[in-house]
Chain A
Amino acid sequence: AQKVTQAQTEISVVEKEDVTLDCVYETRDTTYYLFWYKQPPSGELVFLIRRNSFDEQNEISGRYSWNFQKSTSSFNFTITASQVVDSAVYFCALSPPAPSGNTPLVFGKGTRLSVIA
């Protein structure tokens, strides 16, 4: 069975601080995809990143960076110099690869990030 654990339920930081959101996953698949989504108060899911299990390179996109550690089954997300607009719920998710069939995502419980001005 697949499982995603986001141990941090809520995090509050002061603007300009760096913050890391943790994600630990469980799967028996050797090939899988990991995702991060942002859900602002309006509710829609904003796609942030998809990572293939064979690609352990860390990725940086502006103030966002992701650290994929297959050895510890973790896919952590760091926001550098946080801003108030980063306030949202962030979900980590997992799925088997698309070629095996269209499968739904398994979501973690989410981490609510509040950035205080």
Chain B
Amino acid sequence: GAVVSQHPSRVICKSGTSVKIECRSLDFQATTMFWYRQFPKQSLMLMATSNEGSKATYEQGVEKDKFLINHASLTLSTLTVTSAHPEDSSFYICSASGQKTTTMNTEAFFGQGTRLTVV
């Protein structure tokens, strides 16, 4: 079945550095990718929606200059957390949607998530 691969699964970085998270759809074309953030014991909150070839649409309260999203191809979207601070420590998870998600009777396929810790 369709698989979305997210990398890395865990990352620890120093405050002030940038971290890039990759989300790949392995066997289908993902026309849309979503990025969610989940703080401990909280729900998943949508950060942004990215459509291939166009600028991402960010949810209210999410800083687009801090969370850079690139969706340059139909199989890859990246989220870069720039100048990370301890309060950015969270679980980030992507999901991908495309024609295959419709035919496979699901809405989106989720990546495995990335646990970011900023020290």
Binding site for B on A (CB under 8 A): 33, 35, 37, 43-45, 47, 50, 91, 95, 98-99, 102, 104-105, 107-110, 112
User: B58 contacts the other chain (Cβ, under 8 Å)?
Assistant: no
List of A residues within 8 angstroms of B95 by Cβ = 104-105
User: B43 contacts the other chain (Cβ, under 8 Å)?
Assistant: yes
Q: Which 9 A-B pairs have the closest CB atoms?
A: A102-B32, A102-B97, A43-B113, A45-B110, A109-B43, A44-B112, A104-B34, A98-B102, A107-B44
List of A residues within 8 angstroms of B98 by Cβ = 102
> Do the beta carbons of B44 and A91 come within 8 Å of each other?
yes
Say whether chain A's binding surface is mostly helix, strand, loop, or mixed.
mixed
> Do the beta carbons of A108 and B107 come within 8 Å of each other?
no
**Number of residues of chain B lying within 8 A (CB) of chain A:** 27
Question: Given that A33-B107, A43-B113, A44-B112 are contacting pairs, would A104 and B102 also be in contact in the complex, using a CB cutoff of 8 Å?
Answer: no
**CB-based nearest B residue for A95:** B107
CA distance A28 to B91 in the complex (A): 31
CA distance A9 to B112 in the complex (A): 23
> Do the beta carbons of A104 and B110 come within 8 Å of each other?
no
List of A residues within 8 angstroms of B101 by Cβ = 98
> Do the beta carbons of B105 and A108 come within 8 Å of each other?
no
B36 to chain A, nearest CB (A): 8
B65 to chain A, nearest CB (A): 22
Tell me the B104-119 residues at the A interface (CB within 8 Å). Answer: 105-108, 110-113, 115
**CB-based nearest B residue for A101:** B32
> Do the beta carbons of B113 and A98 come within 8 Å of each other?
no
**CB-based nearest A residue for B45:** A107
Pick the residue among B49, B97, B112 that contacts A98 (CB under 8 A). B97
Pick the residue among B42, B46, B49, B91 that contacts A43 (CB under 8 A). B91
